């Protein structure tokens, strides 16, 4: 990623726009040496893009006291930049652009708080950000809902069929779920995730219509172990009880 950052700001326009966002502690020794010399190079040569062969001589001439080891590392690094071409990973560009706009939006928002800017200025920057980074233009005004639209959306939410948890604490904290909800359940291995989901699947099955079902898609855990948990949840049996009378359990 360091190589991409250095290559990207080797253009004067990009340097002016993004150099203030690069923090010294994030750069290793040689990239930091290059970064520290770019401003002087651009000022003295008035070039729009770094000529890396010229830049090597420029840095070595301006830093005659560099030890041999650092000189070799610097020259090798620049040669590697030359060999790798000008292509820069897209995620690096997006990351820098996002930080650039975040910085501008923060400054503008502060100016709004002091009365020196308008909220429309923030909206304009958000629109520019979406166009440049995401490739889409959001009409922020269209995101505002009228009272009537908001009422109907809340009414639809109220009328949506919901399914309750069997655990009162989950019901209290999360509320009932409805079709389309996406829930991530995370825990350490053998933390009871399958057992919990099996118990809830059984509970939700009781709330479905006759022609509905719960679709269970399994990934890593062995199918017979999952089936055991489901049977236990459905019958409220322990593992020992299921194993004692397997035929009856199914």
Tens digit of pLDDT for each residue in 206-224?
A: 999 999 999 999 887 888 8
SS3 11: strand
pTM above 0.85, yes or no: no
The structural domains of the chain, with segments of one domain joined by +, span: 2-88, 92-143, 162-249
SS3 250: coil
Contact 92, 17 (CB under 8 A): no
C-alpha 71/C-alpha 62 separation (Å) is 12
C-alpha 57/C-alpha 75 separation (Å) is 9
- In angstroms, how far apart are the furthest CA atoms of the chain? 88
Q: What is the residue-level pLDDT of the chain in tens, covering all 250 positions?
A: 788 888 988 999 999 988 888 776 678 899 999 999 999 999 999 999 999 999 999 999 999 999 999 999 999 999 998 988 878 888 888 888 888 889 999 999 999 998 998 998 998 898 888 888 877 655 555 556 677 877 787 788 788 889 999 999 988 888 899 888 888 989 998 888 999 999 999 999 999 999 999 999 988 788 888 888 888 888 888 888 888 888 777 7
Contact 92, 4 (CB under 8 A): yes
């Amino acid at each position: 990623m360091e190589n991409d950052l250095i290559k990207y700001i080797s253009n004067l326009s990009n340097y002016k726009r993004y150099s203030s966002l690069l923090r010294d502690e994030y750069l290793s020794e040689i990239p930091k040496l290059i970064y520290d010399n770019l401003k002087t190079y651009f000022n003295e040569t008035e070039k729009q893009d770094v000529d890396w062969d010229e830049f090597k001589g420029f840095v070595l001439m301006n830093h005659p006291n560099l030890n041999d080891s650092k000189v070799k590392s610097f020259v090798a690094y620049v040669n590697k930049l030359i060999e790798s071409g000008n292509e820069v990973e897209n995620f690096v560009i997006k990351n820098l652009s996002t930080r650039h706009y975040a910085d501008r939006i923060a400054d503008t928002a502060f100016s709004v708080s002091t009365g020196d800017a308008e909220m429309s200025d923030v909206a304009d920057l958000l629109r520019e950000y979406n166009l440049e980074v995401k490739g889409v233009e959001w009409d922020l005004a269209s995101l505002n809902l009228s009272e009537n639209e908001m009422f109907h959306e809340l009414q639809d939410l109220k009328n949506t069929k919901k399914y309750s948890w069997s655990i009162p604490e989950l019901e209290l904290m999360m509320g009932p779920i409805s079709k389309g909800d996406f829930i991530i359940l995370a825990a350490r291995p053998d933390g009871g995730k399958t057992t919990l989901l099996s118990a809830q699947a059984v509970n939700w099955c009781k709330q479905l219509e006759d022609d509905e079902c719960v679709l269970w898609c399994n990934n890593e855990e062995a199918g017979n172990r999952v089936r055991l948990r489901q049977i236990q949840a459905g019958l409220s049996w322990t593992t020992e009880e299921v194993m004692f009378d397997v035929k009856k359990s199914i």
